[in-house]
């Protein structure tokens, strides 16, 4: 089942929560909606689910209009951040719930329901918890049960809103891997909301990066990380050093200092230079496009991290953090050269 969203506009009073959003999800894809708080991810998911309606635009499932149908008629499964399990029902009954409330003409027999619930509990690898109640489960187990429950009605589309958001970091990591493996097994078209870039890049086939109600970029995890389309995407995904520069007559300036960087793709005017921390090579003073003085050095896992005050002749200088191998001798007071192996320049406001 495909999802096609076109020109969606959604306002809450004067505030535009979704500003002309368009998106296509192909059958069997697992797509992440990634963006900061308030970027419109949940609003978009709720519109696709049928829990909210746009002011204009269309949503189609396999080419058929979905907006004319209510949530109950869209055959969509949901999982939310806060486990929506029924407290007074066992795990088994929670998973069976959707099957028991189906209209009589399509409802399965009791034996079929039991077999289906068992199958789902096996799928999420929690069959041994069938008789427990939600308050006897860990947070991670509850989310896996919530997923089994969402899948019970064999939805054509699965929507997940920060499904692991309330869990601690270690459990989140485990469940990410688990979700990806599960998706490879069941292949239901899935869209999940997260503000965690690592989660999006690790789990999804494609990532939709949103900011302020707009889509900034849609691409594979490799695309959005390696080839960010906008300054926002570069700043939001991965750790970057960002320097305010000026592109003038084909040259890049940091304060009054001219940097030996290629700016042939850059628009003239005030801009930002983005460099991933690991793309900055350290050399002797005089080498590289940037120069700086080491201020502090601290061990940081397998590397060391140093604060370096960049020299921008005539200007104040800018403090940046760089990573260096542990065996590289760096100490406060050293003056070093820095060469970006890769970098991007985005004009301000572009
Ligand atoms: N019912 C509503 N009434 C008024 N404003 C709303 C309503 N629902 C959402 N908004 C606003 O729309 C914007 C987008 O909200 P949304 O929940 O879609 O963002 P989000 O990207 O999912 O953020 P988060 O990660 O914090 O959940 C926010 O500024 C929010 O305050």
Q: Whose Cα sits closest to atom 11 in ligand 1?
A: 17
Specify which of 155-164, 210-219, 275-284 reaches the highest per-range mean pLDDT.
210-219
Question: Looking at the structure, do residues 254 and 338 belong to the same domain, yes or no?
Answer: yes
Query: Domain with 11 in it: what CATH number?
Result: 3.40.50.300
Q: What pLDDT does 255 receive?
A: 81
Q: Which of 8, 18, 36, 42 to mutate to test ligand 1, by most ligand atoms within 8 A of the CB atom?
A: 42
Q: What pLDDT does 269 receive?
A: 92
Q: Mean pLDDT throughout 113-139? A: 91
Q: Whose Cα sits closest to atom 29 in ligand 1?
A: 38
Question: Looking at the structure, do residues 90 and 14 belong to the same domain, yes or no?
Answer: yes
Atom of ligand 1 nearest to the CA of 44: 18
Q: Whose Cα sits closest to atom 3 in ligand 1?
A: 12
Question: Looking at the structure, do residues 209 and 260 belong to the same domain, yes or no?
Answer: no
Query: Domain with 258 in it: what CATH number?
Result: 2.40.50.140
Question: Looking at the structure, do residues 245 and 227 belong to the same domain, yes or no?
Answer: no
CA dist 61 and 72 (Å) reads 14
- Confirm or reject: Cβ of 192 under 6 Å from ligand 1: no
pLDDT tens across 271-330, in order?
A: 999 999 889 999 888 888 888 999 999 987 788 899 999 876 555 678 899 988 888 888
Question: Looking at the structure, do residues 247 and 226 belong to the same domain, yes or no?
Answer: no
Q: Given CA atoms 240, 246, 248, 254 in this order, what sign does their dihedral have? A: negative
CA dist 21 and 5 (Å) reads 7
Contact call for residues 336 and 294 (beta carbons, < 8 A): yes
Residue 337's domain comprises 239-347
What's the predicted TM-score (pTM) here?
0.88
Q: What is the ipTM, given to two decimal places? A: 0.94
- Domain-terminating residue out of 197, 231, 265: 231
Question: Looking at the structure, do residues 31 and 168 belong to the same domain, yes or no?
Answer: yes
Question: Looking at the structure, do residues 170 and 251 belong to the same domain, yes or no?
Answer: no
Closest CA to 120 of 140, 143, 150: 150
Burial label for 219, CB within 10 Å (0-12, 13-18, 19+), is middle
- Domain-terminating residue out of 168, 200, 231: 231
Question: Looking at the structure, do residues 252 and 226 belong to the same domain, yes or no?
Answer: no
- Domain-terminating residue out of 201, 231, 261: 231
Question: Looking at the structure, do residues 205 and 65 belong to the same domain, yes or no?
Answer: yes
Q: How confident is the model at residue 83 (pLDDT cuts 50, 70, 90)?
A: low
Question: Looking at the structure, do residues 103 and 192 belong to the same domain, yes or no?
Answer: yes
Q: Which of 33, 40, 51, 82 to mutate to test ligand 1, by most ligand atoms within 8 A of the CB atom?
A: 40
What total number of domains does the chain contain? Answer: 2
Q: What pLDDT does 264 receive?
A: 81
Tokens of 1: 């089942």
């Amino acid at each position: 089942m495909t999802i096609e969203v076109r020109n969606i506009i959604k306002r809450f009073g004067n505030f535009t929560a979704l500003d002309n959003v368009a998106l296509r999800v192909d059958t069997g894809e697992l797509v992440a909606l990634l963006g900061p708080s308030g970027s419109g991810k949940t609003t978009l998911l709720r519109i696709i689910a049928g829990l909210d309606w746009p002011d204009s635009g269309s949503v189609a499932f396999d080419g058929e209009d979905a907006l004319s149908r209510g949530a109950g008629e869209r055959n969509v499964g949901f999982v939310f951040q806060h486990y929506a399990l029924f407290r007074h029902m066992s795990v088994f009954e929670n998973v069976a719930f959707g099957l028991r409330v189906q209209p009589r003409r399509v409802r399965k027999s009791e034996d079929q329901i039991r077999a289906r619930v068992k199958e789902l509990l096996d799928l999420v690898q929690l069959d041994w918890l069938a008789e427990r109640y939600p308050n006897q489960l860990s947070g991670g187990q509850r989310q896996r049960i919530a997923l089994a429950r969402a899948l019970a009605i064999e939805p054509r589309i699965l929507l997940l809103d920060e499904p692991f958001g309330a869990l601690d970091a270690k459990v989140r990591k485990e469940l990410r891997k688990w979700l990806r493996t599960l998706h490879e097994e069941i292949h239901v078209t899935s869209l999940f909301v997260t503000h965690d870039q690592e989660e999006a890049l690790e789990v999804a086939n494609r990532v939709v990066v949103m900011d302020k109600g707009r889509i900034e970029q849609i691409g594979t995890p490799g695309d959005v990380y390696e080839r960010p389309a906008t300054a926002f995407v570069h700043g939001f995904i991965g750790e970057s050093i960002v320097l305010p520069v000026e592109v003038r007559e084909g040259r890049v300036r940091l304060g009054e200092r001219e940097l030996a960087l290629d700016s042939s793709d850059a628009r003239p005017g005030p801009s930002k230079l983005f460099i991933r921390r690991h793309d900055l090579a350290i050399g002797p003073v005089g080498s590289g496009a940037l120069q700086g003085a080491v201020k502090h050095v601290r061990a940081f896992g397998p590397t060391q991290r140093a604060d370096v005050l960049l020299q921008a002749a005539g200007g104040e200088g800018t403090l940046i953090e760089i990573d260096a191998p542990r065996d590289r001798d760096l100490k406060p007071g050293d003056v070093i050269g820095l060469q970006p192996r890769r970098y991007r320049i985005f004009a301000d406001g572009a």
